[in-house]
Amino acid sequence: MRSFANEIRDGLDQALAEDPGVLVFGLGVPDPKGVFGTTLDLQEKYGEKRVFDMPTSENAMTGIAIGAALGGFKPVLTHQRLDFALLSMDQLVNNAAKWHFMFGGKRSVPITIRMILGRGWGQGPTHSQNLQSWFAHIPGLKVVMPALASDAKGLLLSSIFDPNPVIFLEHRWLHNAQTEAADTNKPIPLGEANLLREGDAVTVVSVSYMTIEALHAVDVLKEQGISCDLIDLRSISPIDWPKIEKSVKKTGKLLVLDTGFKSFGIAAEIMAHITETCFRDLTLPPARLTAPDYSESTSPALTKDYHIRAEHIAARIGDMTDRDVSIEPILNARGAAHDVPGNWFTGPF
Amino acid sequence: MTPELTKSLAHGMRRIRTVEETIAARYSEQEMRCPTHLSSGQEAVSAAAGALLRHSDLAVSGHRAHAHYLAKGGSLNAMIAEIYGRVTGCARGKGGSMHLIDEAVGFMGSTAIVGGTVPVGVGLGYSLMIKGGDDIACIFLGDAVVETGVFHEALNFATLKNLPVLFICENNFYSVYSPLEVRQPTAREIHEKIAGYGIHTASGDGNDVAAVHAVMSDAITKIRAGGGPAFLEFSTFRWREHCGPNYDDDLGYRPDPMIEEWTARDPISLFEGKALADGRLIQGEIDAMQQEIDTEVNAAFDFARSSEFPPAEEADMHVFADQMTGGPL
């Protein structure tokens, strides 16, 4: 068994070993905790020039990553939370995303920006934002959101060796997720969604941690005679429209799950696209389950109904299929409080 | 100063001046359809840098970049064609006057966001540090850049890692119409404030090309020897409006004595006057040089105007790269 965090670390290790141009830096990268275990021992192995801690200068360090990329390197910059990386929007949007375009294709910018998404345990308004739609809105940025531990390394390798800037979003609640899948060292192409479950009742489209909740819901519903297609997007830019369209043409029903705010988000874009391309195949209006349009609070008393969980997904699929469904098996299987991913998580962030 | 260097500096300044003034003269033809920031009056800093930097040194700049690009050796034809929006432009018409690039001579890019290329230049310096050798990264910036956070963040990192980076600040005292004193505390000059980082700093009269050359040569020698980053401030003066081909001093935003003092100190006549007086240059050489420059510049405008526009289908090209564009390390 290997964890999602182990897989990220192994992916960085493999990239550093394969290509002397790969650089890994970010606040805390060589510290004793190694960014939730994802960067442990890499500095000892590859030296201080290629793996290093950095000043608390998110914007400049993003520009420095861009400059190093123009100088022939493939930097991987890590932020302990997406929220900190908001300071780097100028470099990401005005330079990284546009360099190849605005210089007429003269030079691409192969950088990977890891950002960690927080949830629960009092992360509060500025440690829990899931702003993937911001990045996906910008032409020239790729946005990758792994869900399964078995995909983490393959997607990271593809991101690092992609010639373009890639925003690689790791959900904090996934770092301890386990995989038994074979350790293949194979890159997973960006833009290929993964059909995790097959069925004809509803098309469930999901990203990142929501895919874990969706797996619980879809598996419990299958035992109750409702089979759904579950599509884990893996990357939202590029996005695998053909796989979503094909499924919707089969099921006629679309439920989109997103970790971000509801309005103007990824779910909204997928619903709009499917409405444009598959309108006549739909037998119900498309539906979405997302975070609400307000920030996450800190007190556990205020976050009980903030995040979408498996029971919400199962109940919505029941509504969409006009079936009575039991969410008891989901609630009974849940061994941890609502604000932690499992009892393995005891804080602090 | 050798006769060769004297000619090189005079030629560098005259070439930039001629390009900028030709743009100004032809701008009203409405064929150069993009914001254009001219460097007339500010040629000395670029000409000195051009005489000192190698093609293997890597430079970046900001919105007023024509002079830097030309001094670094950037293709004149490709720059004029870019301003004319032609497919033969250095960015195939995607970038215009503010987005210049000629990687063959180490001009890695200029962009339009003030301060935006400063960290990029430092990142280029980081790449040069890992590769070894004595090439340097050179960042051209204006006085407003030192007001941005990203400048100080990038300078902090360049200092921390002792990177081979030369920061060249052209202080022309105005950001559009906003004078320095409404933007920065002026009790200390910019280079004095930057000296607090503990790096090599120096300043000079940015209209005296010989002085600029001496200050810059000293700094570049130190950087190439592993001395870490250096910051140089040169005061200078733009003749024309912030953006566009016209003079705008009728608006009264710059005091008359300041305008008179600086325009009287034209960097080209200052330098050539001395060189003619002490015999390092003769008028015939200057005339021949100018004739050659006029021919080159006219040919560049002919090239641009006779070039094709990019085909419409290029509008949505280049959003993503299909493959790595840089070579192996």
Residues A167 and A314 in one domain: no
Q: Provide DSSP, B254-307.
A: S-HHHHHHHHHT-HHHHHHHHHHHTTSS-HHHHHHHHHHHHHHHHHHHHHHHHS
Task: For residue A346, name the pLDDT band (cuts at 50, 70, 90).
Answer: confident
How many domains does chain A fold into? Answer: 2
**What per-residue confidence (pLDDT) applies to B92?**
98
Any domain includes A66: yes
Annotated active-site residue A58? The verdict is yes
pLDDT digits (tens, 9 = 90+) for B21-32: 999 999 999 999
For all residues of chain A together, what is the average pLDDT?
A: 97
Rounded mean pLDDT, B272-284: 96
Q: Do A250 and A146 share a structural domain?
A: no
Closest residue in A to B310 (Cα–Cα): A104
Residues A16 and A151 in one domain: yes
Average pLDDT over residues B222-243: 98
Q: Are residues A58 and A169 in the same domain?
A: yes
Residue B327 has what pLDDT? 63
In a domain, A18, yes or no: yes
A248-282 pLDDT, tens digit each: 999 999 999 999 999 999 999 999 999 999 999 99
How confident is the model at residue B252, as a pLDDT?
96
Q: State which residues form the domain around A225.
A: 194-332
Record: contact A103-B58, CB cut-off 8 A: no
Residue at a domain's end among A121, A145, A179: A179
pLDDT, tens digit (0-9, with 9 covering 90-100), for A190-218: 999 999 999 999 999 999 999 999 999 99
- Sorted by where each begins, the domain ranges of chain B are 3-308
Query: A323 and A199 in one domain?
Result: yes
The reply to whether B324 touches chain A by the CB within 8 Å rule is: yes
What's the whole-number mean pLDDT along residues A326-330?
96
pLDDT on residue A335: 85
Same structural domain, A317 and A213: yes
Query: Pick the catalytic residue: A18, A48, A79, A127?
Result: A127
- Residue B185 pLDDT exceeds 70: yes
Confidence of residue A347 (pLDDT cuts 50, 70, 90): confident
* B323 contacts chain A (CB < 8 A): yes
CATH of the domain at A286: 3.40.50.920
Q: Is the pLDDT of residue A182 over 90?
A: no
Q: Are residues A236 and A170 in the same domain?
A: no
Q: Is residue A342 part of a domain?
A: no
Which CATH number covers residue A72?
3.40.50.970
| CB-CB neighbors (< 8 A) of B94 in chain A | 101-104
In a domain, A186, yes or no: no
- CATH fold, domain B3-308, is Rossmann fold (3.40.50)
A83 shares a domain with A25 = yes
One domain, residues A158 and A255: no
Candidates A60, A73, A99; nearest CB to B127: A73
C-alpha distance from B152 to closest chain A C-alpha (Å):
9
Nearest to A153 by CA among A24, A307, A22, A7: A7
Question: Is the pLDDT at A334 greater than 90, yes or no?
Answer: no
Q: Interface pTM (ipTM) of the complex?
A: 0.97
Residue ranges in chain A assigned as alpha helix (H): 4-18, 34-37, 42-46, 58-70, 82-85, 89-90, 99-102, 132-136, 149-160, 210-223, 241-251, 266-277, 310-320, 328-333
Between CA B300 and CA B1 the distance in angstroms is: 31
